Structure formats: structure tokens, C-alpha cells
Amino acid sequence: MTEPRRRAPRRRISGVLLLDKPAGLTSNAALQRAKRLYDAEKAGHTGTLDPFASGLLPVCLGEATKFTQYLLDADKTYRAVIRLGVRTTTADPEGEVVETRPVEVDPGRVRAVLARFVGETEQVPPMHSALKHAGRPLYEYARKGVAIERAARRVTVHALDLERLEGPDLTVAVRASKGLYVRTLAEDIGAALGCGAYLAALRRLGVGPFSLEEAVSLEALEAMTPEARDGCLRPEEALLAHLARLDLDLEAAWQIGHGQAIWRPGMAVGQRLRLHGPDGRFLGVAEVDADGKVAPRRLVVF
């Protein structure tokens, strides 16, 4: 009897891939395709894009998955196309039309309305979202016609600029904090203009320090040699460029690697640091504890 073929172990590859997710694909489906291309043991992304949306989706492989939170918390930049005069059940193109109204707006009025949404505000997450209630995403309840009470979240819109107003389509550039639902923002803008609206298209242009201009498509990755594909990966510490770097000598690196806190003068309690060993290799992240010592929090495994 022929023995079943054993699959070769997956690669213990690590790094950050800046992926340009296409519209029509879920973030998880895009993640799984990238994971298969790299034959990676472990992979995760740093913030879901709806299937109809496209743009920058940072994908973390291997040890880089330990630091995804730093991009989940980062500011995001989008280009949004808002269809005025129409409301849908989901506030996006995947829902059913529930209302249509005439559109009578001009650029001056639009700019005045957009200015009202800049700054801190509270936003109620939409029912058609991946936010979970009792372990299940809200969209599952919404599909069954069940409404769940949602608490408002404080979000910040740093910039909201008019790029184009052509017919019923309003194109805006948005830069905002984590937690903003652009679909809800589109609905609110339509309500403020008195005509209703839904989010017709969305493209994510930036996440934290990363730009869509640096990203690569799945099709381009598939056409590359394995060596060229590996060359698209950025190191784990690219996620942590905003943290101060602390270089350790051999003894301190050994202590940190064994879970011990080390003393360094002049550190502020709660400060997070990017650690590097005597050879320059990235070791992980530490935080200054209540005693003023640098304590390891998330370390990479070589």
C-alpha cells in the first residue's frame, strides 16, 4: 500500500508585506493567498478592508504578527467616493436601496459640511460591520434582521477634503484615527447635505507610516520568482519605527532574552522601546515598568 505523501513543513519566514488588496476580495481571502505564496507558517493582517474596498492591507508573516497592534492603532488615510441622493440598507454598494432624493449641492456647500466633521466626534458602529457581539460579528445579526445596541466610539477625523464633485458622486480624502467607519461618515455627510448618501467606493491609501505607493498586488506577487517575492518583505521593526531604539550589549541582551528587566537611567515609566542586540539584530519591544526598569514585552524568536 502506498503511503500518503507528507507535506513539506511551511517556511518560518518573517516580515511585513504591503499588499494592494483588490476590490471584490475579503481581507482574509487576500491574506490567505499571500500566505500561500510565501508558504508561511503564520500570517495576519493589520485591519480589515470590506470586500468592496481596495487598497493598502499590511500583511504580517511569522514573528511580525506579534506586533500587528501597532498598525491596528495607527491613523488611516482613504479616498472615498460617496454617492449622493441614495441610501442603502448597509450604507455601501452591497445593500438594497431604501431611499432616493434629488441632489442640489455645490462645492462651497459641500466644503462647509465637510468641515463640520473634522475633529473629535462620537460614531456608532454600523450593524453591517465585523465588530463582535457575544462572539459573533454584527453583520451576522444584521442579516437576520436583529438589531444590537452599540455604544458610540470616540474617533478623530484629522482631515476631510473635497477632491471632486461630479454629478451625484462626491470624492473625498479622509485621514482619521483608528475606529472610524467611513460608511457611517458617508451616511452622516449625506444626511447633513439633506439628500442622503452611501459609500460607493473606498480605497485605503495609507496606514501609519506606510503608503499605497509602496504596495504590491497579488498578481504581481504571483508573477515573481520566490527570491523577488521575498525581497518585497520589510523587517518586523518596520512596524515600530515610531518607537525609540535601545541598543543592548551582550549581557543586557541575554537578560532581556531570559525575561529579566534591566536598569537604564532617564527612562519614563510606560515608555515603549524597540530593542536591538549588539549585532544590530531586532530583538523585540520592551516597556519601562513602575520601577523604572526596561522590561521585555514582546520578543522575536530566531
Active site residues: 50
Cβ proximity of 293 and 284 under 8 Å: no
Relative to beta strand 119-123, strand 153-166 is: antiparallel
Q: Which own/partner contact pairs does 100-103 have at CB distance under 8 Å and 24+ positions apart?
A: 100/196, 101/194, 101/195, 101/196, 102/195, 103/168, 103/195
Dist. CA 110–CA 164, nearest whole Å: 10
- Residue 97 phi, psi dihedral angles, 5° rounding: -70, 130
Residue type, 32: Q
Cβ proximity of 295 and 279 under 8 Å: no
Dist. CA 191–CA 196, nearest whole Å: 5
Instruction: Residue count of the chain, please give it.
Output: 302
Scanning the structure block, which residue is given the C-alpha cell 550589549? 249
Residue type, 102: P
SS3 for 55?
strand
Cβ proximity of 130 and 26 under 8 Å: no
